């Protein structure tokens, strides 16, 4: 067998049932507090890892079936460790499937040119949410606060805000139609919500704005975050 085939064998540990077991075995070994383990368990861990064995023996050891002793060791306190393992796998999958840039916070636009640039030049896969507001108009400040929260929940969405006067289109965006939310993707207008707070309760929060945008399918899925919240609640 060529060196290339050996390398592929050693690195392809995430594929198929054997790969999953091997990957889980490694994760379990790395996450356990070996210093405080009883001697018997340390010996099992030593046998599982076989750090001093020959190269071929290590590969055979990695691919062997799980022993009863290993199973008993892995079973103990597995609930928390398994959740951490699932979370890591989900994060790896999420990172591989996430396209486009990520952002932090809400971006303040200071001119109509900046407004056009963010719409026309942003990555084609990025959803851009623009809040057109005016200081003193009811609902604008509250909506700004909500977008600050949503920006942390949806890092792949570019949240922006611009004062109606600074936009150069104050005639179009009069106080009566503020606050306005505009949603774009790949330069295309997907959502145009004038006086958008009329669709919300008198007192609204970030979750209400999120639900409103989701009702039109304008925000990406939050499956990874949902899984993390569920697992954190289970641990508690």
pLDDT digits (tens, 9 = 90+) for 55-112: 445 455 545 555 665 566 555 555 666 677 777 777 666 665 556 788 999 999 999 9
> Mean per-residue pLDDT for 183-190?
95
Whether 111 and 209 share a structural domain: yes
| Least confident piece of the model among 8-22, 158-172, 218-232 | 8-22
Whether 142 and 196 share a structural domain: yes
- Domain count along the chain: 2
Residue 180 located in a structural domain: yes
pLDDT category at 12 given cuts 50, 70, 90 is very low
Rounded-to-integer distance, Cα 158 and Cα 128, Å: 5
Residue 2 located in a structural domain: no
Nearest by Cα to 138 from 206, 202, 54: 202
pLDDT digits (tens, 9 = 90+) for 158-169: 999 999 999 988
Tokens representing 214? 């989701």
Coil vs helix vs strand at 59: helix
Compute how many other C-beta atoms are within 10 angstroms of the C-beta atom of residue 133.
23
Nearest by Cα to 210 from 148, 161, 160: 148
> Mean per-residue pLDDT for 219-224?
73
Helices (H), ranges, the chain: 3-11, 16-31, 39-49, 55-63, 68-75, 78-97, 112-121, 140-153, 206-214, 223-235
Tokens representing 86? 């699932």
Residue 6 located in a structural domain: no
* Residue carrying the six token digits 């060196």: 3
> pTM above 0.85?
no
Whether 146 and 193 share a structural domain: yes
| Least confident piece of the model among 7-21, 128-142, 161-175 | 7-21
Coil vs helix vs strand at 147: helix
Rounded-to-integer distance, Cα 236 and Cα 232, Å: 6
Coil vs helix vs strand at 158: strand
Contacts of 169-174 with C-beta under 8 Å, sequence gap 24+, read 169/112, 173/132, 173/134
Say yes or no to pLDDT of 5 above 50.
no
Tokens representing 79? 């609930």
Whether 150 and 186 share a structural domain: yes
Full residue range of the structural domain in which residue 39 is found: 14-96
pLDDT of 3 reads 46
pLDDT of 163 reads 96
Compute how many other C-beta atoms are within 10 angstroms of the C-beta atom of residue 6.
13
Domain containing residue 145: CATH number: 3.40.30.10
For residue 117, the Cα-to-chain-centroid distance in whole angstroms is 26
69, 96, 123: which is the final residue of a domain? 96
């Amino acid at each position: 067998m060529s060196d290339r085939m050996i390398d592929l064998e050693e690195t392809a540990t995430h594929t198929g049932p054997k790969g999953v077991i091997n990957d889980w075995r490694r994760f379990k070994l790395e996450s356990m507090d070996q210093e405080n383990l009883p001697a018997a368990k340390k010996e099992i861990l030593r046998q599982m890892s076989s750090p001093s064995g020959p190269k071929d023996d290590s590969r055979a050891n990695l691919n062997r079936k799980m022993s009863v002793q290993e199973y008993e060791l892995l079973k103990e306190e597995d609930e928390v460790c398994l959740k951490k393992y699932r979370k890591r796998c989900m994060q790896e999958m999420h990172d591989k499937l996430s396209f486009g840039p990520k952002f932090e916070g809400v971006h303040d636009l200071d001119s109509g040119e900046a407004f056009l640039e963010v719409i026309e030049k942003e990555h084609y896969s990025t959803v851009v949410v623009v809040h057109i507001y005016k200081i003193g108009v009811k609902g604008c400040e509250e909506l700004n606060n909500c977008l600050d929260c949503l920006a942390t929940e949806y890092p792949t969405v570019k949240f922006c805000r611009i004062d109606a006067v600074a936009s150069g289109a104050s005639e179009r965006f009069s106080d009566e139609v503020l606050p306005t939310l505009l949603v774009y993707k790949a330069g295309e207008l997907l959502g145009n919500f004038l006086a958008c707070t009329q669709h919300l309760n008198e007192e609204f929060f970030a979750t209400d704005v999120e639900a409103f945008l989701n009702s039109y399918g304008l925000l990406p899925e939050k499956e990874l975050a949902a899984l993390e919240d569920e697992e954190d609640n289970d641990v508690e």
